[in-house]
């Protein structure tokens, strides 16, 4: 356990060295959320609510979805692909800890850093400028933090899968990009899933992606109520466990067919 905490700490310190950039990032995120706000105001065009979400809830949804993204988002798929291409992965695999766990911990270090230095100040600024409703209910916050923890796990597992695929494809920038687009769309980052037509919602309810953005954002905006929250969290928990199987399966296959191209 100690070694994992150390990995998180080191990554955190690494990010801290570059913290000034994050202030410019917050500004850009705020502009982004602002433009979304006006776009959605135009879409609502005076309507009280669409699919049970009021315009204030919608703005909150967009803001929290982007801020939560800063926490669960990481580039470990690209890092793994790079280490495989450069042959570094061979050395990494000799080290006395599981490679995949190490990558996950690095991602967590990055996520915690962004949560503290990016999402929290960003959310405060956005809340001052735009009409956003922050819940005063402690249990909502508790469920939200539990939910984004699951978001991180699910998103990281999908990233690991995309990264490991490099073992088989050698060059998989295209796959990584496609994965990112699919997640943006199916996770509910761009649009709440309840806005989609029924048949599309049915398809998406069988996929793990809604656990990445839609569920935590809906919990935060209190779009989910009562038993819906528990069902949603259970859904995330099940996917977090289920995805372990393909990750380890693919990893075992990958190790067998490892070709080091350089190093």
Partner 1 sequence: MEYISIFFQYVGQYLKTRLTYRADMIVEIFSDLLFQAVNLVFILVVFGHTNLLAGWSKDEMIFIYGFFLVPFSIFASFFNIWDFTDRYIVKGEMDRILTRPVHSLFQIVLERMELESLFGVVTGLVVMFYAGDKLGLEISWYDPFIFILLVIGGALVYAGIFIALATIGFWSDSRTDIMPMMYNIGNYGRYPVDIYNKVIKYVLTWILPFAFVGVYPSSYFLKREEWYTYAFLTPVVGLVFFLIAVTLWNVGVTKYRGAGN
Shortest distance in whole angstroms from residue 179 CB to partner 1 = 8
Q: How far apart are CA 117 and CA 121, in angstroms?
A: 7
Q: What sign results for the dihedral spanned by CA atoms 12, 148, 80, 187? A: negative
Shortest distance in whole angstroms from residue 9 CB to partner 1 = 20
| Nearest C-alpha neighbor of 135 from the set 63, 69, 47, 186 | 63
In the beta sheet, which residues pair with residue 54?
A: 49
The conformation of residue 53, written as its DSSP 8-state character, comes to E
Residue with smaller CB distance to partner 1, 51 or 137? 51
Residue with smaller CB distance to partner 1, 38 or 97? 38
Q: What sign results for the dihedral spanned by CA atoms 220, 225, 229, 231? A: negative
Contact set with partner 1 (CB under 8 A): 18, 20-22, 24-25, 28-29, 31-32, 34-35, 38-39, 41-45, 47, 50-51, 169-175, 177-178, 181-182, 184-185, 190-191, 195-197
Residue with smaller CB distance to partner 1, 21 or 205? 21
Shortest distance in whole angstroms from residue 32 CB to partner 1 = 5
Shortest distance in whole angstroms from residue 35 CB to partner 1 = 4
Q: How far apart are CA 257 and CA 254, in angstroms?
A: 5
Residue with smaller CB distance to partner 1, 153 or 189? 189
Straight-line distance from the first to the last Cα atom of the chain, in angstroms, rounded to the nearest whole number: 30
Residue with smaller CB distance to partner 1, 168 or 230? 168
| Nearest C-alpha neighbor of 239 from the set 213, 215, 208 | 208
Shortest distance in whole angstroms from residue 101 CB to partner 1 = 26
């Amino acid at each position: 356990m100690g070694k994992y905490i150390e990995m998180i700490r080191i990554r955190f310190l690494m990010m801290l060295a570059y913290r000034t950039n994050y202030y410019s990032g917050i500004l850009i995120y705020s502009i982004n959320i602002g433009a979304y706000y006006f776009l959605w105001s135009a879409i609502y065009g005076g309507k009280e609510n669409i699919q049970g979400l009021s315009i204030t809830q919608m703005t909150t949804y967009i803001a929290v979805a982007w801020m939560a993204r800063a926490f669960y988002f990481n580039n470990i798929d690209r890092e793994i692909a790079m280490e495989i291409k450069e042959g570094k992965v061979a050395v990494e695999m000799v080290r006395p800890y599981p490679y995949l766990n190490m990558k996950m911990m690095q991602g967590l270090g990055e996520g915690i850093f962004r949560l503290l230095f990016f999402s929290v100040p960003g959310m405060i600024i956005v809340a001052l400028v735009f009409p956003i409703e922050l819940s005063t209910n402690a249990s909502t916050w508790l469920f939200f933090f539990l939910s984004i923890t699951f978001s991180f796990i699910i998103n990281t597992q999908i990233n690991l899968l995309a990264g490991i695929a490099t073992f088989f494809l050698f060059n998989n920038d295209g796959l990584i990009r496609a994965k990112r687009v699919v997640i943006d769309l199916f996770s509910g980052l761009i649009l709440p899933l309840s806005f989609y037509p029924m048949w599309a919602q049915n398809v998406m309810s069988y996929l793990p992606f809604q656990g990445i953005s839609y569920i935590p954002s809906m919990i935060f905006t209190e779009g989910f109520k009562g038993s819906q929250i528990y069902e949603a969290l259970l859904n995330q928990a099940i996917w977090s466990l289920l995805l372990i199987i393909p990750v380890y399966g693919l990893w075992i296959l990958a190790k067998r067919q490892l070709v080091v191209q350089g190093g």
